[in-house]
Structure 1
Amino acid sequence: MQRWLILADDLTGAADCAVSFARRGHAAAVAWGPAGIAEETVLAIDADSRRLPPAQAAARHAALLAAPPGPGAALYKKMDSTLRGQPAAELAASLATLRAAGRPALAVVSPAFPATGRTMEDGRVRLQGAPLEASPLWRRDHTYPDADLRAVLEGAGMTTALLPLAALRAEPGAAARAVRAALEAGQDALVCDAATEADLAAIAHATLPLAGSVIWVGSGGLAAALAGALPMGHAPPPSRPPPRRTGLLLVVGSMAEASRVAAAEALAGGGLRRFGLAPALLRAGPGEWAGTAGAIAATIAAGEDALAIIEEEPGADLRQGAALAEALAALLRPAGLAAGGLFATGGETARALLAQLGVHSIRLLEEIAPGVPLGLAQGGRAMPVITKAGGFGGAQTIGHARQRLRAWLQQEAQA
């Protein structure tokens, strides 16, 4: 059975790539830190590098690749579908590390994720059909001057070629020929347009036979295409902990509009108690938030579901995101220890909270919506967990996640 290593810059990205393999019957887990390294067919590692400067992000990925999980593992480098973080520096360092170990490597790059509205056309990322640069996501958080992916990669010293959409669709075998041409030319990366899942499937089928010579770089869309091109696996399901008869903890640590809309829709459905947490309160420290932390934990212990959300702060400094996530996680630790299940949106938020609960990995089970995985927390506080990237998902996503956690717990109670 082909093993896979997925390297990601945040937890939700690692999970939404690996869950595609779990859906196909392969044992898949997302882990962080040495204690979380598991013997799975598909292991996704959260490098936690989204907020790091380029040199530090690159060094972290190179270090993780210096000790791969056994020979012959295929490598998938997860990049954010809207180019957040430092994907170019991370990829350049990954290619250099692989080549230093004697492994030729062409990066097949496509961050398209059509199920969430992300596409690639003319080598540029588009969101819901419009240029990424015109979106609120780009205005709120971007690293590069624009969304021209070839220019982004070349800015990190890589040579690139482009497989345009028209060429990809022109005839069967076009993708395979483009990959071989890029390999023969000694290119570092082949940037591939893709606007549909069928486009990504064509790329996956063309490149899988070249696993010894290429690595894949993309979001959950290309990962799903690769998983779909593999034979079905037959991994036994993991053992499940007995359910707790307490409430759920739902956490929104992302400032993205999609997550805010979904939180409001979930609250409108009723039965969910809201706890708004101001950034000033989180910065004030434990002495100021003890009462709030106790109220959230008491709500959950009484069997009610609680939604904790960081309030918006005009002019907020995005560089404070990691510090706020850590403070939020510390505040919510008592609630997390009491909860029967957890939903978290925002990669830094999810990782910080799970670390507070002593969790070192998540064994992935299913995908409740595109890019929204359900899994079992491993180590520490074992419970069902759903994670979601902050920037995508529909208005019903959080409400649906809550319903799925409730249904999962009910099924376990009746088993």
Structure 2
Amino acid sequence: MPQPVRDPLDRSGCSLQRGGTLPATPSNWLILADDLTGAADCAVAFARRGRRAVVAWGGTVEPGAGILAIDADSRRLPAAQASARHAQILRDAYRPATALFKKIDSTLRGQPAAELAGTLEMLRESGAPRLALVAPAFPANRRTLRNGRVHVEGQSLESTPLWARDHSYNSAFLPEILAMAGLRVRALGLDAVRGGEASLRNTIRAALAEGLDALVCDSDTSADLQHVARAALPLAADLVWVGSAGLADALAAILPASAGPALPERRFARSGGLLFLVGSVAEASRAAAAELAAQPGVGSFVVPPAVLRQGGGEDWHVLADGIAATLLRGEDALVAIETGDHPDLAHGAELARGLAALLQKAGSAAGGLFATGGETACALLAALGIRGIEMQREIEPGVPLGLTLGRRSMPVVTKAGAFGHPDTMTKARQQLRALLDEPAGGKKDDDR
């Protein structure tokens, strides 16, 4: 574990010491996420309510963003490396009087326990003891926590294809997972969560006084998450909020409202069609891709992993040129990595980098981007010289739309692989094309 900064200010002017009093309703939030899609679907909850929310990666800290979500790109790292990376980002980006939100996957992929343990250790070494309030449920996307266990669409997580394909732990019993990372944990059932704001706040105060590391909160509905948010917000100076977009949405909803951000009053340059990337093997993403592929004006391309590993050759160039030509004709291109019946997720990062290299010409021609799978989206955006995304609104829960920052500005939609419905990509295509085609001052669709 890297040692904390001893000088009050590090090279980026950030402080790990408490140095400022966090207001009861904080306006500045730092969101640490293990992938791009998670950072975006948490940040957009605040953007929808009028706060400037920016997603960044690769060490970028966007000035002037009251809500800064950082993609640590740690989903595929071993536990110790994921913990160390979060600690380093915290050192570089955390500022006084900032509320801290640790985004974890609602199905516990990656290394959420190690990342949280590293985050808490760094904070405490800097003189800022914190209690983690852990509520990973995302009821709008049918992920809940009951008796400390994650459920998806009413089934225990361990019985789902998601778990069979990709899991880090022996079970989905969250208190045990956190305890194995060395954290002192207590679970709160639905009776405690729904027992009244004052009672729940007193329970949190008692956990702080006892020196616990984490409280795990059952949540079966969005209202449960709102109970947690309202009870705990006055104690924000002593808390790290830990959850998915469900908890972020509950917090954003109870903060004072601001004037909503508007998409820029201009027409985007129509340099080409829309580029749709499918870097996920999840059933939801593959079903949505199949529906999109059936639409007129969409060219489909399946990229074999062997071609991406080669990084060149005739097949590589034929695909790269064909995708770019489709976009330059004004048509939309759907690009997916071939997975087969038994996909190997161990090489996901390598394939994402290979796909980003293959698509650089296409990305430069595209008028807008839709990407499912955080590694794929981040690799391509970074290759295009884009340093971040300013969030705007949602296509549907868990599917945010934003505007890129950096070398060029274009609309981009990101989606976690397992989120969405069969028509999600088709809906995103309609909204992206409407945004690209509408004149300045044109109609802006209500996404909710």
State if a TM-score over 0.5 links the two structures.
yes
Q: Which segments of structure 1 move beyond 4 Å, counting only runs of 4 or more?
A: 235-241, 412-415
Letter in 1 for 2:219: A
- Partner in structure 2 of residue 291 of structure 1: 318
- Partner in structure 2 of residue 249 of structure 1: 275
Query: Contact 1:242–1:413 at 8 Å: present in 2 too?
Result: no
The match for 2:212 among 183, 187, 194 is 187
- Partner in structure 1 of residue 10 of structure 2: none
Describe how 1:385-404 pairs up with structure 2 within 5 A.
385-404=412-431
Identity of aligned residues (%): 57
User: Gaps spanning 5+ residues in structure 1: where?
Assistant: none
Instruction: Supply the distance in 2 between the matched residues of 1:86 and 1:385 (Cα, whole angstroms).
Output: 27
The match for 1:24 among 49, 62, 75 is 49
Instruction: Supply the distance in 2 between the matched residues of 1:42 and 1:140 (Cα, whole angstroms).
Output: 33
Q: 1:345-365, CA deviations, whole angstroms, 9 ceiling, x for partnerless residues? A: 000000001011111100001
Per the TM alignment, residue 413 of structure 1 is displaced from its structure 2 partner at its CA by: 6.1
Alpha-carbon RMSD: 1.5
Query: Contact 2:267–2:436 at 8 Å: present in 1 too?
Result: no
Describe how 1:112-191 pairs up with structure 2 within 5 A.
112-191=137-216
Change in Cα spacing, 1:279 to 1:358, as seen in structure 2 (3 Å) is same
Change in Cα spacing, 1:68 to 1:246, as seen in structure 2 (3 Å) is closer
Query: Contact 2:48–2:260 at 8 Å: present in 1 too?
Result: no
Q: 1:104-141, CA deviations, whole angstroms, 9 ceiling, x for partnerless residues? A: 20000011000001000001100001100000000000
Instruction: Supply the distance in 2 between the matched residues of 1:333 and 1:157 (Cα, whole angstroms).
Output: 43
Instruction: Supply the distance in 2 between the matched residues of 1:171 and 1:205 (Cα, whole angstroms).
Output: 10
Query: Contact 1:273–1:304 at 8 Å: present in 2 too?
Result: yes
* SS class of match (1:217): strand
Letter in 1 for 2:292: A
User: Gaps spanning 5+ residues in structure 2: where?
Assistant: 1-25, 443-448
The match for 1:258 among 281, 284, 287 is 284
Letter in 2 for 1:275: F
Per the TM alignment, residue 286 of structure 1 is displaced from its structure 2 partner at its CA by: 1.8
- Partner in structure 1 of residue 17 of structure 2: none
* SS class of match (2:407): coil
Residue 307 (structure 2) pairs with residue 281 (structure 1): yes
Change in Cα spacing, 1:16 to 1:412, as seen in structure 2 (3 Å) is farther
Instruction: Supply the distance in 2 between the matched residues of 1:401 and 1:9 (Cα, whole angstroms).
Output: 24
Change in Cα spacing, 1:412 to 1:134, as seen in structure 2 (3 Å) is farther
Query: Contact 1:107–1:217 at 8 Å: present in 2 too?
Result: yes
Query: Contact 1:262–1:398 at 8 Å: present in 2 too?
Result: yes
Query: Contact 1:241–1:383 at 8 Å: present in 2 too?
Result: no
Instruction: Supply the distance in 2 between the matched residues of 1:412 and 1:227 (Cα, whole angstroms).
Output: 31
* SS class of match (2:102): strand
* SS class of match (2:116): helix
Q: 1:207-248, CA deviations, whole angstroms, 9 ceiling, x for partnerless residues? A: 111110101000000000000010112365475673215210
The total of aligned residue pairs comes to 415
Query: Contact 1:243–1:413 at 8 Å: present in 2 too?
Result: no
Letter in 2 for 1:363: E
- Partner in structure 1 of residue 362 of structure 2: 335
Which segment drifts farther, 67-76 or 148-157?
A: 67-76
- Partner in structure 2 of residue 214 of structure 1: 239
Q: 1:309-339, CA deviations, whole angstroms, 9 ceiling, x for partnerless residues? A: 1112344321100000000111111111001
Instruction: Supply the distance in 2 between the matched residues of 1:238 and 1:66 (Cα, whole angstroms).
Output: 33
* SS class of match (2:359): helix
Query: Contact 1:28–1:363 at 8 Å: present in 2 too?
Result: yes
Per the TM alignment, residue 69 of structure 1 is displaced from its structure 2 partner at its CA by: 4.1
Change in Cα spacing, 1:226 to 1:188, as seen in structure 2 (3 Å) is same
Residue 71 (structure 2) pairs with residue 46 (structure 1): yes
Query: Contact 1:251–1:345 at 8 Å: present in 2 too?
Result: yes
Q: 1:252-299, CA deviations, whole angstroms, 9 ceiling, x for partnerless residues? A: 010111100111112223331111111122122222401110010000
Letter in 1 for 2:419: F
Letter in 2 for 1:343: F
Instruction: Supply the distance in 2 between the matched residues of 1:183 and 1:401 (Cα, whole angstroms).
Output: 44
The match for 1:99 among 124, 134, 140 is 124
Instruction: Supply the distance in 1 between the matched residues of 2:153 and 2:282 (Cα, whole angstroms).
Output: 16
Instruction: Supply the distance in 2 between the matched residues of 1:15 and 1:332 (Cα, whole angstroms).
Output: 22
Change in Cα spacing, 1:241 to 1:179, as seen in structure 2 (3 Å) is farther
Change in Cα spacing, 1:389 to 1:236, as seen in structure 2 (3 Å) is closer
Letter in 2 for 1:358: G
The match for 2:92 among 67, 72, 90 is 67
Which segment drifts farther, 164-173 or 330-339?
A: 164-173
